[in-house]
């Protein structure tokens, strides 16, 4: 969903800055087609462009393509290069949005040729942005990186400010999309600074606006509020200058309101972060006026910014209200679980602050399930990070190899040195991966511990029979550690608690959503984590047996599957963290 959200917004940004847009809804497309039949010249093209604007907000690829076909056919008949370029770019974007990657790649040669032959640099650069983004979503990071590397090197040598700004922005996006946010920052800064050299104001805005968005978003995430505010003031001044120019030229008072809205959202978060609440509320009022009558996506973007603001303000009733609104939006999307995880965490913390412990426990349970769901995604992101660095190094290494052929006499020594540096570099990257996994393990443990504490605050009369039994079971396991007995089974545990096997199984299922076997396995692994951290004198074989496993082999398999790293790696990293403390 996030991909479509980004590209749909981008579609309107790069395709329609200069065209007249009708304020219409989906049910008026037919009437617009009738208007097109009776219109001529540019007015007819404007109507077809409006039909496309409506279609792109829907979820119907064929409807978009039909609108694009009409626009392309009419623009060619009239010989209008601007609208024909618009249609070509819209077609490629449509294929990318709907993950029709082969159709997208097939459309590139004709579009790039048309833009080059007609000196349409803006359209050419816009298509490059979409191309790089599509490579990443098609799991082809090496092609995206190669495209960025070639474009960046060429722009540095012979490019215009526009091409240099695009190259720097694209490189920043490559890092950002792989989770390497710190590495992306200098490229976004470079893109903004380079774009300041562009003389044409409209073009300057088109290059600086997305770079400002990415940079400020990163600074907010790192709680660097003062730096964020500095760039936001620059961004606001740029948009104000653009608006004055458009009003002077066309009298259009609603010019660039979409760009201003994005800037206002980030100003709301930044001022909230800095504790300047009254100023932020002025921007909220302006943004609320803008979203009136707009699609759900625009309203959701505002709700998200307000959620962060009220969280900074510690108005937890509003946080709870807005997190529910945002969850309603994201639950409609099958792949929105990472956003849902973030919002449920907001909701959980607000409920705890409001002493609504029973509801907080329910949020904890959902959060635990979502955390397990994103474990695989997080591991893949770590692997993608290594793959990105590896592919980038391959590109650089290939260029270095060509140079080394000229100085082959010293090549051996240089290669040995390079191999040593690469080894050191990748060792560092693997440590970063283990750090991410280690933090994830600690986060899961924290969530489970807080959930158990929250259960204790719920009055017993509000608990079901199963939940009472589950709390009793948790206490017994914490004090007696029955799970370390390798021959423990459901009957023995039920006898210990004075209940039967069916009640016990139901209690475990209601309390943590696990089967008896998976519940015991999880407790053993959690205890193994404690032993690995606090008992360095124990061997791994001893820890396997002490935690209730039959031998080291099943312990190794279960640990690696659950946590994404093996016991030896965890012990080394845990010892390193303890020594630092």
Q: What is the DSSP string of 191-231?
A: HHHHHTT---HHHHHHHHHHHHHHHHHHHHHTT-HHHHHHH
Task: Return the closest-CA partner of residue 336 out of 328, 346, 345.
Answer: 328
Any idea what DSSP says for residue 482? G
Identify the three-state secondary structure at position 4: helix
Is there a domain that residue 300 lies in? no
Is there a domain that residue 360 lies in? yes
Structural domain ending residue among the three candidates 393, 423, 458: 458
Is there a domain that residue 250 lies in? no
Question: Residues 134, 95: contact at Cβ < 8 Å?
Answer: no
Query: Residue 546 belongs to a domain with what CATH number?
Result: 1.10.10.60
DSSP secondary structure of 224-292: -HHHHHHHHHHHHHHHHHHHHHHHHHH--TTTTHHHHHHHHHHHHHHHHHTT-HHHHHHHHHHHHHHHT
Q: Are residues 425 and 499 in the same domain?
A: no
What integer pLDDT is reported at residue 13 of this predicted model?
42
Question: Residues 176, 141: contact at Cβ < 8 Å?
Answer: no
Q: Are residues 510 and 478 in the same domain?
A: yes
Q: Are residues 322 and 450 in the same domain?
A: yes
Question: Residues 167, 145: contact at Cβ < 8 Å?
Answer: no
Long-range contacts, stretch 328-337, CB < 8 angstroms, 24+ apart: 329/296, 329/300, 329/303, 330/1, 333/1, 334/1, 335/1, 336/1, 336/2, 337/370, 337/373, 337/374
Q: Are residues 454 and 321 in the same domain?
A: yes
- Cα Rg, the chain, nearest whole Å: 28
As a three-state string, the secondary structure of 39-61 is: CCHHHHHHHHHHHHHHHHCCCCH
Task: Return the closest-CA partner of residue 268 out of 302, 234, 218, 295.
Answer: 302
Q: How far apart are CA 84 and CA 89, in angstroms?
A: 9
What integer pLDDT is reported at residue 137 of this predicted model?
80
Per-residue tokens: 98: 């709907």
Per-residue tokens: 14: 């790069």
Is there a domain that residue 67 lies in? yes
Question: Residues 138, 12: contact at Cβ < 8 Å?
Answer: no
Q: How far apart are CA 44 and CA 37, in angstroms?
A: 8
List Cα–Cα distances, 137 to 4, 8, 141, 206, in angstroms.
11, 15, 8, 23
Structural domain ending residue among the three candidates 115, 136, 157: 136
Per-residue tokens: 400: 């270095």
Q: What's the gap between Cα 113 and its chain centre?
A: 33
DSSP secondary structure of 289-316: HHHTT--HHHHHHHHHHHHHHHHHHT-H
Separation of first and last alpha carbons in the chain = 41
Secondary structure element (H or E) that encloses residue 561, with its range: helix 552-563
Question: Residues 203, 122: contact at Cβ < 8 Å?
Answer: yes
What integer pLDDT is reported at residue 330 of this predicted model?
83
Q: Are residues 452 and 547 in the same domain?
A: no
Position of tokens 């017994």? 476
* Helices 337-353/357-404 angle, 10° precision: 140
Is there a domain that residue 293 lies in? no
Q: How far apart are CA 115 and CA 133, in angstroms?
A: 19
Q: How far apart are CA 166 and CA 164, in angstroms?
A: 5
Q: Are residues 354 and 489 in the same domain?
A: no
Q: Are residues 358 and 442 in the same domain?
A: yes
State the total domains in the chain. 3
Q: How far apart are CA 362 and CA 455, in angstroms?
A: 10
Is there a domain that residue 242 lies in? no
List Cα–Cα distances, 321 to 264, 306, 318, 356, 362, in angstroms.
21, 11, 5, 14, 17
Is there a domain that residue 80 lies in? yes
Q: Are residues 403 and 531 in the same domain?
A: no
Burial 435-470 (b: 16+ CB within 10 A, else e): ebbbebbeebeebbebbbebbeebeeeeeeebbebb
Per-residue tokens: 80: 């209008």
What integer pLDDT is reported at residue 335 of this predicted model?
63
What integer pLDDT is reported at residue 202 of this predicted model?
85
Structural domain ending residue among the three candidates 404, 431, 458: 458
Position of tokens 């390798």? 486
Q: Are residues 342 and 440 in the same domain?
A: yes
Neighbour count for residue 92 (Cβ, 10 Å): 24
Task: Return the closest-CA partner of residue 144 out of 123, 126, 171.
Answer: 171
* Angle at 102 (CA atoms; ends 99, 106), nearest 5 degrees: 125
Q: Which domain holds residue 105?
A: 1-136
Q: Are residues 378 and 491 in the same domain?
A: no
Is there a domain that residue 66 lies in? yes
Residue ranges in the chain modelled with pLDDT below 50: 1-25, 374-383, 385-387, 389-390
Per-residue tokens: 223: 């709680």
Q: Are residues 565 and 448 in the same domain?
A: no
Question: Residues 129, 166: contact at Cβ < 8 Å?
Answer: yes
Q: Are residues 412 and 511 in the same domain?
A: no
């Amino acid at each position: 969903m996030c991909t479509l959200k980004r590209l749909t917004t981008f579609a309107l940004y790069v395709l329609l800055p200069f065209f007249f847009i009708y304020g219409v809804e989906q049910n008026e497309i037919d009437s617009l087609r009738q208007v097109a039949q009776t219109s001529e010249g540019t007015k007819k093209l404007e109507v077809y462009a409006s039909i496309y604007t409506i279609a792109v907000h829907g979820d119907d690829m064929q409807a978009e393509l039909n609108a694009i076909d009409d626009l392309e056919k009419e623009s060619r008949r009239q010989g209008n290069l601007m609208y024909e370029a618009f249609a070509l770019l819209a077609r490629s974007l449509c294929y990318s949005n709907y993950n029709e990657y082969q159709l997208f790649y097939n459309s590139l040669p004709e579009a790039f040729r048309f833009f080059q032959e007609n000196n349409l640099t803006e359209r050419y650069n816009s298509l490059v942005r979409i191309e790089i983004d599509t490579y990443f979503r098609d799991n082809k990071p090496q092609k995206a990186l190669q495209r960025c590397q070639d474009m960046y090197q060429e722009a540095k040598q012979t490019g215009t400010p526009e091409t240099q700004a695009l190259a720097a922005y694209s490189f920043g996006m490559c890092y950002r999309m792989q989770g390497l946010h710190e590495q992306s920052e200098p490229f976004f800064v470079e893109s903004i600074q380079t774009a300041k050299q562009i003389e044409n104001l409209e073009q300057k805005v088109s290059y600086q606006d997305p770079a400002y968005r990415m940079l400020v978003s990163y600074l907010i995430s790192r709680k660097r509020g003062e730096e964020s505010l500095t760039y936001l003031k620059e961004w606001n001044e740029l948009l104000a200058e653009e608006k004055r120019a458009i009003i002077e030229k066309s009298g259009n008072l609603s010019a660039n309101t979409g760009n201003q809205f994005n800037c206002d959202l980030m100003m709301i978060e930044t001022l909230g972060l800095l504790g300047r609440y009254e100023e932020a509320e002025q921007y909220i009022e302006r943004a609320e006026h803008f979203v009136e009558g707009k699609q759900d996506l625009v309203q959701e973007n505002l709700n998200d910014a307000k959620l962060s603001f009220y969280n900074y303000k510690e108005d937890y009733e509003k946080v709870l209200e807005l997190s529910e609104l945002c969850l309603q939006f994201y639950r409609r999307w099958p792949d929105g679980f990472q956003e849902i995880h973030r919002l449920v965490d907001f909701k959980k913390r607000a409920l705890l602050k409001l002493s609504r412990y029973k509801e907080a426990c329910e949020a904890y349970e959902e959060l635990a399930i979502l955390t397990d769901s994103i474990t695989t995604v997080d591991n893949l992101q770590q692997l993608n990070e290594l793959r990105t660095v590896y592919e980038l190094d391959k590109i650089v290494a290939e260029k270095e190899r060509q140079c080394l052929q000229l100085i082959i006499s010293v090549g051996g020594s240089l290669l040995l040195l390079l191999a040593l540096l690469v080894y050191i570099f990748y060792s560092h990257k693997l440590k970063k991966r283990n750090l991410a996994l280690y933090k994830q393990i600690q986060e899961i443990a924290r969530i489970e511990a807080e959930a158990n504490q929250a259960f204790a605050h719920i009055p017993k009369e509000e608990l079901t029979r199963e939940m009472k039994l589950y709390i009793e079971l948790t206490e017994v396991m914490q004090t007696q550690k029955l799970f370390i007995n390798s021959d423990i089974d459901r009957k023995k545990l039920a006898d210990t608690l004075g209940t039967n096997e069916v009640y016990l199984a139901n209690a475990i299922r209601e309390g943590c959503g696990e089967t008896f076997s998976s519940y015991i396995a999880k407790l053993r692994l959690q205890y193994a984590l404690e032993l690995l951290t606090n008992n360095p004198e124990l061997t791994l074989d001893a820890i396997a047996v002490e935690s209730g496993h039959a031998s080291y082999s099943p312990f190794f398999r279960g640990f690696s599957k659950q946590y994404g790293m093996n016991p030896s790696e965890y012990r080394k990293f845990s010892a390193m963290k303890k020594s630092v403390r």
